[in-house]
């Protein structure tokens, strides 16, 4: 099993990317709002007072979405990457996102295909 993670640059594209992941065979996806250091540092400029005023009313949020899921095999990751790039364009292009896969040594939970007792996967 593997942990598939994507940091999506444009949060406005989230629904499209989620649909692509689902169509590529990922049934369970977790989404977190996140931001990168460059965006945080950009908020330190002289216009920061105006940005915070805008955030009070919900218009000033600038960030990413971090999307992740435990997947059964690397083949699924390749399918998800292709489906995601069909939506966003090549991930090597600026302002698309970054995606990576990590091996999962142990997993618990009903949706993890039998690895719910802390079994090595």
Per-residue pLDDT of the chain (121 residues; tens, 9 = 90+): 999 999 999 999 999 999 999 999 998 999 999 887 776 666 666 555 555 554 544 455 568 899 999 999 999 999 999 999 999 999 999 999 999 999 999 888 866 654 445 555 4
CB 71 within 8 A of CB 2: yes
What is the value of pTM for the model shown?
Answer: 0.77
Please list the alpha-helical segments (H only) found in the chain: 14-23, 37-42, 48-56, 74-88
Domain boundary assignment for the chain: 2-35+63-103
pLDDT, residue 29, reads: 96
Nearest to 80 by CA among 29, 114, 121, 35: 29
CA 104 to chain centre: 17
| SS3 category, 38 | helix
User: Domain spanning 2-35+63-103 has what CATH number?
Assistant: 3.30.70.2170
């Amino acid at each position: 099993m593997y942990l598939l993670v994507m940091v999506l640059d444009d949060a406005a594209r989230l629904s499209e990317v989620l649909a692509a992941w689902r169509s590529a065979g990922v049934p369970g996806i977790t989404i977190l709002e996140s931001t990168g250091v460059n965006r945080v540092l950009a908020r330190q400029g002289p216009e920061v007072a105006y940005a915070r005023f805008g955030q009070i009313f919900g218009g000033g949020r600038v960030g990413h979405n971090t999307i992740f899921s435990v997947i059964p095999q690397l083949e699924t990751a390749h399918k998800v990457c292709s489906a995601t790039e069909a939506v966003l364009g090549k991930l090597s292009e600026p302002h698309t996102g970054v995606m990576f896969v990590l091996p999962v040594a142990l997993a618990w939970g009903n949706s993890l295909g039998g690895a719910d007792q802390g079994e090595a996967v």
